[in-house]
Structure formats: structure tokens, C-alpha cells
């Protein structure tokens, strides 16, 4: 085990809650935050979805209401990749980006 810098924004644990369609993230500072699947899907940062070209404030989760989160895979120690029921799986979500999304949905 090594002690890494910036451990507050490290993802410690992940829970996919099928019942309420929420992804729960446990962060290095002990905070547990939930992200709705439709918001998560609409925020996909891949080139196809162009999520990284629009600000989080302009996300539109409406078209993704029925999308189901099938799986989440860890990419190294900094990001996650999701597999969706619409077949999409090219989005790489960095922990920083996920945390930003969590904070935004908390405000909304």
C-alpha cells in the first residue's frame, strides 16, 4: 500500500443500486454521493457523445431515462468506464469528473 496525494478525490468504493437507478460513490474523504444513471449517461465524456464539450450545467438526462447501467470497470487508479444497456461503453469518467458531477447533482 502506498500513500497517494489527493486521496480526498479518490474513489474508495462503488455500489450500483438497481432499485433506485443510482450509482453510489464512496470518496477518500468518507463522503458517499449518489449519481442518477440518466445523468451519468448524459454526461458521457467520449468523443461520440461530446460530453466534454458542453458544461455540466447543460446536461440533458431526459433521453436516457430508460437506460440501464450494466457494469462499471476500473481504469487504472483514476477513472471508470461504464457499460450501458444501449450498448455504449466508450466513455472514460475520471474520478475528478465524477466528483464534479456528484457536486453538481447535489446542487440541482
Residues at the site binding Zn ion, with contacts judged by CB under 5 A: 44, 46, 48-49, 91
Angle made by CA atoms 59, 61, 66, in degrees to the nearest 5: 160
Nearer to Zn ion (CB atom), residue 27 or residue 69: 69
Q: What radius of gyration, in Å, describes the C-alpha atoms of the chain?
A: 13
CB of 11 to Zn ion, least distance (A): 20
Contact 38, 21 (CB under 8 A): yes
Contact 82, 93 (CB under 8 A): yes
Contact 54, 42 (CB under 8 A): no
Nearer to Zn ion (CB atom), residue 27 or residue 40: 40
CB of 6 to Zn ion, least distance (A): 26
Nearer to Zn ion (CB atom), residue 29 or residue 52: 52
Nearer to Zn ion (CB atom), residue 30 or residue 87: 87
Contact 80, 70 (CB under 8 A): no
CB of 44 to Zn ion, least distance (A): 3
CB of 51 to Zn ion, least distance (A): 6
Amino acid at each position: 500500500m502506498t500513500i497517494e496525494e489527493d486521496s480526498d478525490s479518490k474513489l474508495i468504493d462503488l455500489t450500483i443500486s438497481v432499485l433506485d437507478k443510482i450509482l453510489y460513490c464512496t470518496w477518500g474523504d468518507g463522503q458517499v454521493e449518489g449519481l442518477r444513471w440518466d445523468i451519468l449517461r448524459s454526461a458521457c465524456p467520449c468523443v461520440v457523445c461530446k460530453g466534454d464539450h458542453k458544461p455540466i450545467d447543460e446536461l440533458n438526462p431526459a433521453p436516457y431515462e430508460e437506460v440501464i447501467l450494466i457494469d462499471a470497470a476500473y481504469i487504472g487508479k483514476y477513472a471508470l468506464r461504464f457499460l450501458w444497456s444501449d450498448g455504449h461503453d466508450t466513455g472514460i469518467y475520471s474520478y475528478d469528473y465524477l466528483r464534479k458531477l456528484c457536486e453538481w447533482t447535489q446542487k440541482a
